[in-house]
Structure 1
Amino acid sequence: MKVLVIKTSSMGDVIHTLPALTDAQAQIPNIQFDWVVEEAFAEIPHWHKAVNKVIPVAIRRWRKQLWQTWQSGEWKQFKQQLKAEQYDCVIDAQGLLKSAWLTRLANGPKLGLDKQSAREPISARFYDSPVAVAKDQHAVERIRQLFAQALGYSAPSSTGHFSLDKTRFPKQECTDDQPYVVFIHGTTWPTKHYPEPYWQALADQVVKAGFKVLLPWGNAVEKQRAETIAASVTDKSTGSGIKVLPKMKLAELAGVIAEATAVVAVDTGLGHLTSALEVPAVSLYGPTSPKLVGAYGANQVHLCASDLEQLTDGAEQTIEPAIFKGLTPDVVWQSLIQQLDVAQ
């Protein structure tokens, strides 16, 4: 059976789709998936053994360069790739107008969320068979149920598995065999950033406990933050320390995360990658809620700043974003200790 998946972005949304492939592969052993995904995330589907071919799309870039895209032939080449196969089923796992439009271009019966279930109800007009899936549940479960209905099996009630092929992640020589904790501090929204002074205090506690702290980064601003956090650690006498990683490709960073003892992450795509790698983690939420799109799976702790607002009264230190004031390093450390115990 040959199925085309349309799930273009974001990193977290792409990762949330993987357990549905695991379910389908268990129910239909000969199933193979092709996947349309934004070029920035094109390596992720390759990490699941049920995926045969990845078809990169560049909607984000093309929107900014419409004439150049048309002139270069990129759009024509993409359509040729998309139409090269006859599929037994084409599943729009995103529920947006842009993904529904791409779904309509492919060859095969087209399925997606109905107008009551999709984020953009108009997308349901593009499908041959719209599917009803309750909204008030985690995104992973919604996609698992969508695939189950589209492909004709009962959705499992057990927790989903991402089933990443870890052999695709090159081992990184960056830790000297010392156990380490990764701090995933970078995210797009300024309001989702955990305060820098809090990262510094937490790093100090982790290093004093005998772990190395590793700090990845993806752009100049994140690199500066990582260097600031690293410079703050006061106790290096234990032989531990803190390290700002070099710029890495996504698969290389996945290799680092996969070998971590634990991770502390803000609400960002790399936090979802951590959960997909089944690494114990503490995820920090400020203006967002983990209920529907939080880090999914075993040994994932969600700390919500909004649950701790009553602790901010009387605090003298100015903390930005202010919503995180009550989610102090001590609060995070207590949860992280438990995750470190789980991993050992």
Structure 2
Amino acid sequence: MKILLIKMSSMGDVFHTFPALTDALSAYPDLQVDWIVEKGFSEIPSWHPAVKTIFPIELRAWRKNVWKNRHTIRQFFEAINPGQYDLIIDAQGLIKSAWVARKLRAAGAKKVVGLDWHSAREPLASLVYQQKISVDKNQHAVTRLRQLFASTLGYSTPDSEHIDYGLKLPDHSILDDQAFQSGSYHLFLHGTTWDTKLWPESYWIELGLHALQAGQALVLLWGTEEEKARALRIQAALLDASLNGNSGARVWVPGERLSLLAVAHLLKNARQIVSVDTGLSHVSAALEVPISIIYRVTDPAKIGAKGNKVVMLASPVAPHYVKQFRDAEQETESLVGIQVEDVIEASECLGR
């Protein structure tokens, strides 16, 4: 069986799709999946053995000036022969993904499948599909996608709560330093998109000191210059505070921005990870690394990183998706239940 999958973004959405692919590959050992995904995430689908060909799309750039990009758009769709697929699955259920599906359908796709009016995140998208699948919205995205694939391909959704992302990372060498070998360091994911999702720097420093005092090395990852500056401030504070008690303390901040594959290997080889709500938390969950994730203003119930070694900590404000605090009282409330001692307790539970 050969299918074309439309699941373009975001990073979390891409990773949420892997358990469904693992289920499908188990049901159809000869399954071949080609994947349309945003160019920025195009490396990721190759980590799953079911995926054969990746079509990087730049929809975000195209939408800024469709006329200017019309030749690029035409060339992209000309590179795909939709008639070679047994079916095309739009696993996103948005107007933008339905537009891609509509182009493919017009070019000769045998069948385009997607979520029905009541199941799609943007119901109008369902008008494009030749087969519409009903999936309860009040579930986690991973569960929804597993049910979508099972209903589409005709097998039973596995009852097990165990989630198998099925990922196989290509080899990659990162650090030769013995202090940062596999399982010998903790890793902090402190960067995220909204300011309200950030955890206070003073909390990271306190948590880092706790790890250093326990003899752990630390890795502080970053993806933007702002995050790099924060990582360096945390590193400086940790090394300064630990000089008297632990002259051998090790805290590493990458000097340059790392590739996604390098980051994935650092995550995979960490002993434990602490993260705010960010795309890389989904990578960590998929790689089955023990991770404590802090949800300050976003609800993990439907879109949180889901995995077998994940602990989620959410504040009372989390269900409200707050991009700007209403007042100082709400800002204070957003830290309830996600204090340093709460994270330490969660991390210790993971380590048992």
Whichever residue aligns with residue 305 of structure 1, its letter is S
Aligned residue for 1:65? 65
- The reply on whether 1:241 has 2:246 as its aligned counterpart is no
Q: Which runs of 5+ in 1 are unaligned?
A: 309-317
The superposition leaves residues 282-336 of structure 1 with CA deviations (integer Å, 9 ceiling, x where unpaired) of 000011111111111111000012289xxxxxxxxx9995344332112111111
The structure 2 residue matched to 1:329, chosen from 319, 328, 340, is 340
5 Å-filtered alignment, 1:1-344, equals 1-70=1-70, 73-83=71-81, 85-106=83-104, 107-158=109-160, 159-166=162-169, 168-173=170-175, 175-178=177-180, 179-233=184-238, 234-236=241-243, 237=246, 239-246=248-255, 247-306=257-316, 321-326=331-336, 327-339=338-350, 341-342=351-352
> 1:241 deviation in Å?
2.0
Runs of 4+ residues over 4 Å off in structure 1: 318-321
> 1:98 deviation in Å?
0.6
Q: Distance in 2 between matches of 1:265 and 1:47?
A: 22
Question: Residue 67 of structure 1: SS of its match in structure 2?
Answer: coil
Contact 1:169/1:252, CA 8 A, preserved across alignment: no
Comparing 270-279 and 54-63, the one that deviates more: 54-63
Q: Distance in 1 between matches of 2:330 and 2:200?
A: 6
The superposition leaves residues 129-170 of structure 1 with CA deviations (integer Å, 9 ceiling, x where unpaired) of 11000111110010000001111111111122111112x141
Contact 1:195/1:321, CA 8 A, preserved across alignment: no
Q: Distance in 2 between matches of 1:171 and 1:278?
A: 20
Contact 2:174/2:262, CA 8 A, preserved across alignment: yes
Contact 2:293/2:311, CA 8 A, preserved across alignment: yes
> 1:238 deviation in Å?
5.8
Q: Distance in 2 between matches of 1:231 and 1:157?
A: 48
Q: Distance in 1 between matches of 2:335 and 2:191?
A: 18
> 1:111 deviation in Å?
0.5
Q: Distance in 1 between matches of 2:296 and 2:145?
A: 25
Comparing 10-19 and 186-195, the one that deviates more: 186-195
Q: Distance in 1 between matches of 2:281 and 2:301?
A: 15
Contact 2:317/2:330, CA 8 A, preserved across alignment: no
Q: Distance in 1 between matches of 2:76 and 2:225?
A: 32
Q: Which runs of 5+ in 2 are unaligned?
A: 319-327
Comparing 255-264 and 171-180, the one that deviates more: 171-180
Whichever residue aligns with residue 205 of structure 1, its letter is H
The CA RMSD measured in Å over matched residues stands at 1.8
Q: Distance in 2 between matches of 1:293 and 1:174?
A: 36
Q: Distance in 2 between matches of 1:175 and 1:228?
A: 22
Question: Residue 203 of structure 1: SS of its match in structure 2?
Answer: helix
Whichever residue aligns with residue 301 of structure 2, its letter is K
Structure 1 204/319 Cα, relative in aligned 2: closer, same or farther at 3 Å? farther
Instruction: Give the number of aligned pairs.
Output: 329
> 1:67 deviation in Å?
3.4
> 1:200 deviation in Å?
1.1
Whichever residue aligns with residue 75 of structure 2, its letter is Q
Aligned residue for 1:314? none
